Chain A
Amino acid sequence: MTTVSPANPAAAPRRASRWRMLLWQLLGLLLLLALWWLVTDVLRLYPPYVFPSPRAVWTEISYGLWGTGPQDGKLLAAIGNSLRRVLVGYAIAVLLGGLVGLLMGAWRLLRETVGAYLTGIQSVPSIAFVPFAILFFGLNERAVLFVVILEGFIPVALAVSGALMNVPPALRIAGRTLGASGLGLTTGVLLPSAVPSILTGLRTAWSFAWRALVGGELLVSASASLGAQLEIGRNTANMALVIATILIIGIIGGLFDSLLRALEARVRRDYGLEVTQ
C-alpha cells in the first residue's frame, strides 16, 4: 500500500517490524483456530447445533463462495448485494454528510441546533430505526438504504463541521488577507486543511454504515444479503452458516476499515501530523 522510498533511512527496520507484527497476528489466528477446534472437535463441549466445528464452518464458506451445486454460491451473491447496497448508501451518506457538515461549519445557528440533534440521533442504535423505515418504505431495499444513509451521514456531517471549526485561526486570517472569502475561503483554505479530520469521520461513517446495513438486512431479509444469510442460518438451525456469515461480515468490514485507515495515515503523514521517528 504505502511504498517506502529507499531514501528513508527508517524504512528497513520499519518494514521488518511490520513483518514481525504480521507473524504475531498470524500466530494469534492459528491459536484461536486451535482453541476452537479443541473446544468443538476434541472436547465436544457444545453440541454442533450450538457451536459447530471450524471444519463445518469452512464447509459452509466453501459451498457458499465457490461451490458449484445448484444451491451453491449464495454467500457470494449475498456479498455482492450487500456490498452494492453499502457502497450506494455510503456514497449518498458521504455526499449528504459533507453538505450538511459544510452548512453547519459555515452557520453557527445550524451547528447548535441541527448539530445537537445529530449527536442525539447518533446515539440511537441503527436497528431502532428499522421498524420506522419498514413502515415508511416497506419491506424492501429502500428501507435498508435509509438506515445505512442515516447512520453514515451523521459522523461525516459532524466530522466536517468539527474539522472546519478546528482550522487554526491563523490559516483563516491568512486566507482572508490573501483575498479569499465566503465559499472560496471554505473550499480553498478551510476544507483542504480539514481533510485529515474529515477522513477520520469517513472511517467512522464506514463502520457505522456497514453495521447498520447488516442490522437492516437482518430485519428486512427479502432478497439475497448477508443479513438474510444470518436469518436463514438461524431459521434452519445451521449455526455453521451463521458463523461463516459473521466471519465474512467481519472480514469485509475490517478490510475496508484498514483501507481507509491506510489512506488516513498517508494523508496525516503528508499533512505533517504524524511524526516519523
Chain B
Amino acid sequence: MTRTLTILTAAALLTPTAQAQNATTVRLGFFPNLTHAPALVGLEKGYFQKALGSAKLDSREFVSGTTLMEAFAAGQIDIAYVGPGPAINGAARGMPLQIVAGASEAGAVLIARKDSGIRTYKDLAGKRVAVPSLGNTQDISLRHLLKEQGLKAQADGGNVTVTPVAPADVIAAFAAGRVDATLVPEPWGAVLEAQGHRLIGNEKTVWRGGQYPTTIVIVNTKFAQANPALVTAFLKAHADAVAYLNKSPAAARTVVNNELEKLTGQKVDLRVLQRAMVRTRFTTRVDLDALNDYAALNVEAGYARNVPDLKAFLLPSLLK
C-alpha cells in the first residue's frame, strides 16, 4: 500500500506546474508475455479504462522492445510496459522517457531442446540459442551468462550462435530443430518445458539470483508533463493489477490466460501458467542498482558505449 502511495505522489511530482489536461486518449504499449502480466490484468479486468475515466485507452501489443521503442520514439505510445534493455538504450539516446514503476522481476529461463544434448550452460558451446531480439533484455543477459562460462557469441568471435526469434515462435523453431536453446520470458519457458524440453537455467541462475527487473513501466516525458492526472490514474490501476496478481494468483492466472489467448491465439495450460508465474515476481518497485548493473552489461555486450545516469530517468520518489 505504501508503494502505491509512493507511486501516486511520484506521479504528482512529475510536473512542477499543473497544466491543462489535453489528452483524450492514452496510448499503451505492452507485450503478450507473462512478464507483462500487470498490463494483461489491467486490460482484461478493465482497471486501466476505469481509472482513466473519460480518456480513452488505446492499447497496442508489440512482439519486441525494438518495435515498441520505435513507436515510442515516433510519439505513438504514451505509456509502455517494456524490458529494461530497450528502455535504457532509449534513454541513453535521448528519448523523452521516464521510468515510473516496476512491473515484474525475474521470469526468464533458459530452455534447451530435448534432443539438443545440452545439459548445462557449458554445453551451449557450438549451439544455436534464440533470444526475443538482438539487444533486448534476454539477449544481454544471455551474453553475460556466456561470458561467465567462458563462451562467446559467434558475432563476437565465439562459437555460440545467438539468433533472434519472437518468443511465441520459439515453439515452432524448437519443433523444426532450427534452434537448440532459448532464453525466453515466461510463459514460453514453461510451455516449452511442458513439451518435454529441458530447463537448463531457472530465473534465479540466469542472472543476479533472480533479483533483477524484467519489465518496467515508462512514460513519455512530454505526455506525463501535460497529463499528470492521467499518469497518476494509470499508475494506480497498474498498482491494483500488481496487487491482484499477488493476492489472488489463481484467479489472475485465468485472467492472464484469457488475455494471452486473445492476443496470441495460443492457449496455455493453467498448470503450465502456474509454473511460469511462480518464476515471476510482480512488483511496482524499481531496483536502481539492478538497472545500473544491467546498463553495465549492455555496455559489456557492445550495445552501448557508456552507462547513462539512470537516476535522471527515474522519478525521484521511486528512489529509496
Most-contacted residue by chain B among A49, A71, A239 (CB, 10 A): A49
Bound-complex Cα distance A221 to B92 (A):
24
Question: Which single member of A47, A220, A224, A236 contacts B89 (CB below 8 Å)?
Answer: A236
Q: Does A138 contact B (CB under 8 A)?
A: yes
Question: Which single member of A48, A138, A232 contacts B93 (CB below 8 Å)?
Answer: A48
In the complex, the answer to whether B90 meets A74 with C-beta atoms within 8 Å is: no
Q: Does B163 contact A (CB under 8 A)?
A: yes
Closest B residue to A239 by CB, please name it.
B93
In the complex, the answer to whether A135 meets B154 with C-beta atoms within 8 Å is: no
Question: Which single member of A70, A138, A222 contacts B162 (CB below 8 Å)?
Answer: A222
| Residues in chain A near residue B135, CB distance under 8 A | 232, 235-236
In the complex, the answer to whether A237 meets B69 with C-beta atoms within 8 Å is: yes
Q: Mark A153-197, 1 if CB is under 8 A from B, else 0.
A: 000000000000000000000000000000000000000000000
| Residues in chain B near residue A236, CB distance under 8 A | 89, 135, 303-304
In the complex, the answer to whether B155 meets A235 with C-beta atoms within 8 Å is: no
Q: Mark A135-162, 1 if CB is under 8 A from B, else 0.
A: 1001110000000000000000000000
Q: Mark B18-38, 1 if CB is under 8 A from A, else 0.
A: 000000000000000000000
Bound-complex Cα distance A147 to B64 (A):
26
In the complex, the answer to whether A235 meets B133 with C-beta atoms within 8 Å is: yes
Most-contacted residue by chain B among A70, A138, A232, A238 (CB, 10 A): A232
- The answer to whether residues A235 and B161 also contact, given A48-B93, A139-B128 and a CB cut-off of 8 A, is no
| Residues in chain B near residue A234, CB distance under 8 A | 66, 70
Bound-complex Cα distance A77 to B154 (A):
11
In the complex, the answer to whether A221 meets B164 with C-beta atoms within 8 Å is: yes
Q: Does A228 contact B (CB under 8 A)?
A: yes
Interface residues of B in 169-205 (CB under 8 A from A): 173, 176-179
Bound-complex Cα distance A220 to B179 (A):
13
| Residues in chain B near residue A48, CB distance under 8 A | 93-94
Bound-complex Cα distance A232 to B163 (A):
12
| Residues in chain A near residue B73, CB distance under 8 A | 47, 49-50, 237
In the complex, the answer to whether B134 meets A139 with C-beta atoms within 8 Å is: no
Bound-complex Cα distance A150 to B63 (A):
30
| Residues in chain A near residue B128, CB distance under 8 A | 139-140, 222
Interface residues of B in 280-301 (CB under 8 A from A): 299, 301
Bound-complex Cα distance A70 to B300 (A):
9
| Residues in chain B near residue A228, CB distance under 8 A | 134, 155
Determine how close the nearest CB of chain A comes to the CB of B63; give it in whole angstroms. Answer: 12
Query: What is the total number of residues of chain B having a CB less than 8 Å from a CB of chain A?
Result: 39
Determine how close the nearest CB of chain B comes to the CB of A134; give it in whole angstroms. Answer: 8
Determine how close the nearest CB of chain B comes to the CB of A256; give it in whole angstroms. Answer: 24
Q: Mark A104-144, 1 if CB is under 8 A from B, else 0.
A: 00000000000000000000000000000011001110000
Q: Does B167 contact A (CB under 8 A)?
A: no
| Residues in chain A near residue B13, CB distance under 8 A | none
Q: Does A264 contact B (CB under 8 A)?
A: no
In the complex, the answer to whether B162 meets A49 with C-beta atoms within 8 Å is: no
In the complex, the answer to whether B178 meets A138 with C-beta atoms within 8 Å is: yes
- The answer to whether residues A231 and B95 also contact, given A49-B73, A221-B164, A237-B90 and a CB cut-off of 8 A, is no
Tally A-B pairs: CB < 8 A. Answer: 86
| Residues in chain A near residue B302, CB distance under 8 A | 70-71, 74
In the complex, the answer to whether B136 meets A224 with C-beta atoms within 8 Å is: no
In the complex, the answer to whether B154 meets A221 with C-beta atoms within 8 Å is: no
Q: Does A223 contact B (CB under 8 A)?
A: yes
Q: Does B107 contact A (CB under 8 A)?
A: no
In the complex, the answer to whether B134 meets A235 with C-beta atoms within 8 Å is: yes
Bound-complex Cα distance A63 to B92 (A):
18
Bound-complex Cα distance A138 to B301 (A):
25
In the complex, the answer to whether B66 meets A235 with C-beta atoms within 8 Å is: yes
Bound-complex Cα distance A96 to B163 (A):
30
| Residues in chain B near residue A49, CB distance under 8 A | 73, 90, 93-95
Bound-complex Cα distance A181 to B176 (A):
52
- The answer to whether residues A47 and B66 also contact, given A222-B154, A231-B134, A236-B303 and a CB cut-off of 8 A, is no
| Residues in chain A near residue B163, CB distance under 8 A | 139, 220-222
In the complex, the answer to whether A237 meets B176 with C-beta atoms within 8 Å is: no
| Residues in chain A near residue B134, CB distance under 8 A | 221, 228, 231-232, 235
Closest A residue to B135 by CB, please name it.
A235
| Residues in chain B near residue A70, CB distance under 8 A | 302
Q: Does B102 contact A (CB under 8 A)?
A: no
Most-contacted residue by chain A among B70, B134, B157, B177 (CB, 10 A): B134
Bound-complex Cα distance A132 to B95 (A):
37
| Residues in chain A near residue B64, CB distance under 8 A | 235
Bound-complex Cα distance A224 to B154 (A):
7
Bound-complex Cα distance A234 to B68 (A):
11
Q: Does B86 contact A (CB under 8 A)?
A: yes
Interface CB pairs A-B, < 8 A, 19: A48-B94, A49-B90, A49-B95, A70-B302, A71-B302, A134-B178, A135-B176, A139-B179, A221-B164, A223-B155, A231-B134, A232-B134, A232-B135, A235-B65, A236-B89, A236-B303, A237-B86, A237-B93, A238-B303
Q: Point out residues on B near A: beta carbons under 8 Å.
A: 64-66, 69-70, 73-74, 86, 89-90, 92-95, 128, 133-136, 154-157, 161-165, 173, 176-179, 299, 301-305
6 other A-B residue contacts (CB within 8 Å) besides A70-B302, A139-B163, A236-B303 = A77-B155, A139-B179, A140-B161, A231-B164, A232-B134, A234-B70
